[in-house]
Amino acid sequence: MSYLTLLAEKKQGYTIITLNRPDKLNALNGQLLADLHHAMTQAQQDASVHAVILTGSGVKAFAAGADIAELQPLDATGGLPFSERGQAVANLIEHLGKPVIAAVNGFALGGGCELALACHVRFASENAQLGLPEVTLGTLPGYGGTQRMTRLVGRAKATELILSGDRITAQEALRIGLVNEVVPQADLLARAEKFVQTVLLRSQSAVRAALSAILAADELGHVEGMHYEAERFAELCDTPDFKEGTSAFLEKRAAKFQHLAA
């Protein structure tokens, strides 16, 4: 499947999705959001895809935010579906059921930062700059940024970032826990792929259950979250991967999980 605004490249066990409007710094227009929703859904439904890497084309931008030319004419009636459409794509990423890794290769601003926030792990290039500059435009982060940034870096830092609208460097993003690691631009994709390769060696039923339990930490209260974790643990005990993984350890051999045997 080819798209107008992004590239989707299927590799062995994972897909790389590249936002591709380089002349507009990969700004998220309606077409791009529709393409991204479609490409993510394809990856979700494809049983041979176990992870997704999301990045931007070129070396300048991951995505410089919602397309301001589409934003500018909005009134309150149009604003609600505009925000909900971006939130829906971010929610799809967060709940894809498979790891989604952001390779933040440059500016990740506004909606671009919010897409990165919806991913499960974020690697950033040394030149990356991140931020939520919406207040400089007279609006606020509307693709989940007020919620996810607050949960990820804490209320004080999130408030500082959102109210100032300031951009921060990749190193500062690392310091506050907004990204997992900072690497040279030339090594960024390889770093994300190396992480994916590691996850691909693990039990995919376990990876998916763990991802879902981690998300529950944000979405459920502590007691309910602990119960949710115990239920996922119990379910995994019935899986062939659990029998294989534990037997392989006891037999001092490498585990061959189901997706690797296929």
Catalytic residue positions, numbered: 114, 134
- Cβ atoms < 10 Å from Cβ of 98: 20
* By CB under 6 A, residue 7 contacts ligand COA: no
The torsion defined by the Cα of 119, 122, 128 and 134, in degrees rounded to 10, comes to 40
In the bound complex, what is the minimum distance in angstroms from residue 73's beta carbon to ligand COA?
A: 13
**Among residues 3, 10, 13, 24, the one that binds ligand COA under rule CB under 6 A:** 24
* By CB under 6 A, residue 107 contacts ligand COA: yes
* By CB under 6 A, residue 85 contacts ligand COA: no
Strands 129-131 and 167-169: antiparallel
Task: Write down the residue that tokens 């609006």 correspond to.
Answer: 139
* By CB under 6 A, residue 27 contacts ligand COA: yes
* By CB under 6 A, residue 64 contacts ligand COA: yes
Smaller CB separation from ligand COA, 64 or 101: 64
Is residue 220 helix, strand or coil? Answer: coil
In the bound complex, what is the minimum distance in angstroms from residue 68's beta carbon to ligand COA?
A: 4
Residues 128-167 that bind ligand COA (CB under 6 A): 133-134, 137
Smaller CB separation from ligand COA, 27 or 178: 27
Smaller CB separation from ligand COA, 106 or 245: 106
Give me the DSSP letters along 41-108. HHHHH-TT--EEEEEESTTTEEE--B-HHHHTT--HHHHHHHHHHHHHHHHHHHTSSS-EEEEE-SEE
- What is the Cα–Cα distance from 239 to 256, expressed in whole angstroms? 13
At 42, which amino acid appears?
Q
* By CB under 6 A, residue 68 contacts ligand COA: yes
In the bound complex, what is the minimum distance in angstroms from residue 182's beta carbon to ligand COA?
A: 19
Query: How many residues lie near ligand COA (CB under 6 A)?
Result: 17
Smaller CB separation from ligand COA, 67 or 241: 67
Half-sphere exposure of 133 (CA within 13 A, CB side): 17
* By CB under 6 A, residue 106 contacts ligand COA: no
Whether the Cβ atoms of residue 109 and residue 64 lie closer than 8 Å to each other = yes
Instruction: Give me the residues that bind ligand COA (CB under 6 A), please.
Output: 24-25, 27, 64-69, 71, 107, 109-111, 133-134, 137
